[in-house]
Structure formats: structure tokens, C-alpha cells
Amino acid sequence: MIYLIRERRLEAGVGHLKPLWSPKWAFFFFFLFFFFFFFADLLALIEVLTIYCLNNLVGITQITQVFQDSDIG
């Protein structure tokens, strides 16, 4: 009798423990970390390019100042 009740509970899904890791969670965390690192890398790339361009602009103005000073002198 106990065996039949247990078997019916298992058929109804009452006695089952749900697995902690399912494919939907795997995909969720994969895309979460993928997009996080993708956007972090994108922001780092924008930052590096901005600093590079600003350094080039500062370098160009310094070079033109040197040429202007030498022209004046």
C-alpha cells in the first residue's frame, strides 16, 4: 500500500526533487556573462581609443607650437 502511494506521488511529480542546474539557467548565465564582458570590453576599447585620440591631439598641438616657435625665432 505504501509502495502504491509512493509510486502515485512520483507519477504526479510530488516526490521529485528538481535539479538545481537546468539548461535554461546555463543559457541565462552564459548570455549574462557574455554580454557583461562584451560591453565591458567595448567600453574599455572606447576609453582606450579616446585617450589615444586625445594624446594625438595634444601631441599635434605641441608639435605645431614647436614649429610656430621655430618660425618666429
Q: Is residue 22 part of a domain?
A: no
pLDDT at 26: 81
Q: Is residue 35 part of a domain?
A: no
Q: Is residue 16 part of a domain?
A: no
pLDDT at 36: 84
pLDDT at 57: 77
SS3 of 6-62: the string is HHHHHHHCCCCCCCCCCHHHHHHHHHHHHHHHHHHHHHHHHHHHHHHHHHHHHHHHH
Q: Is residue 61 part of a domain?
A: yes
Q: Is residue 70 part of a domain?
A: yes
Number of domains composing the chain: 1
Which residue range(s) make up the domain with 52? 44-73
pLDDT at 60: 65
Q: What is the pTM of this model?
A: 0.42
pLDDT at 69: 59
pLDDT-flagged residues of the chain (< 50): none
Q: Is residue 20 part of a domain?
A: no
